[in-house]
Amino acid sequence: MEKYLKNQSQRMCSWRRISYQELRKATNAFSETNILGSGSFCSVYEGTLYDGLTVAVKVFNFQSERVTKSFDIESEITIRYRNLIRIIGCCSNTEFKALILEYMPNGSLEKWLYCHNYFLDMLKRLDIAIDVALALEYLHHGLTFTVLDCDLKPTNVLLDKDMVGDIDDFGIAKLFGQGESIVQTKTLETIGYIAPGDVPYRDS
C-alpha cells in the first residue's frame, strides 16, 4: 500500500496543473448553465480549456466536512483502465479544490434509463453492464490491493461518445492492501443507493 501511495503521488505530479483563473474562464465563472451534475461533496461543470480541450471540472464543496478526505481518495484512485474515468489534472489550494476529468458527452446512465427522451435497447444495456462488471473486476482482483467503490449507481456510470460505460466518483471508496481485512462496520452510501444485502429479506 505504501508503494502504491508513493506511485500515486508521482502520478499527481504528472497531471496538468491548471489555475483557478483558467478554470473560472473555462466554465464561464462556474455558471449554472455549465453544471453537469451536483452532489453532497461537489458540483461538476463542463468547461473548455485554453487549448480547446473539453473537460468536466469537479469542484469540491468546502462546506462539507468530508471534502478534503473525498478529494484525497479520488486523487489516489487514478488507475488507468478502459472503464474508469480518467483524471486529466487538478487545481488545489487552501480555499479551492477541483479535479479536471475526461468529458463524457453522453452523460450518465441514469439519464438513458429514466428520461423519456433517451432510449437504450437491450443489447446496449448489456454492453454497459459488461463495462461496469469489467471495471469492478479490475478494482477487486486486477491489482495488488482492493478498491471497493461503495457508491455504484446509474448516476456514477458515465457514457463516452461511443456509449462505453465508465465508473466515476470514488469519493467514499475504500482501499485495502495485502493482508488487510475487508470488514464494513458502517454502511457508507449516498441518498438513492443501498447496497445489496442491506435490505432484510422477509419471506412472504
* Catalytic residue ranges: 151
Which residues make Cβ contacts (< 8 Å) with residue 187, sequence separation at least 6? 194, 195, 198
Single-letter code of the amino acid located at 197? G
Neighbours of 157 (CB within 10 A): 25
Q: Which residues 6+ apart lie within 8 Å of 160 measured at CB?
A: 102, 104, 105, 106, 166
Region for residue 13 given its phi and psi (left: phi exceeds 0; alpha: psi -120 to 50; beta: otherwise): alpha
Angle between the 2-14 and 67-76 helix axes, to the nearest 10 degrees?
A: 90
Residue with cell 454502511: 187
1/145 Cα distance (integer angstroms): 7
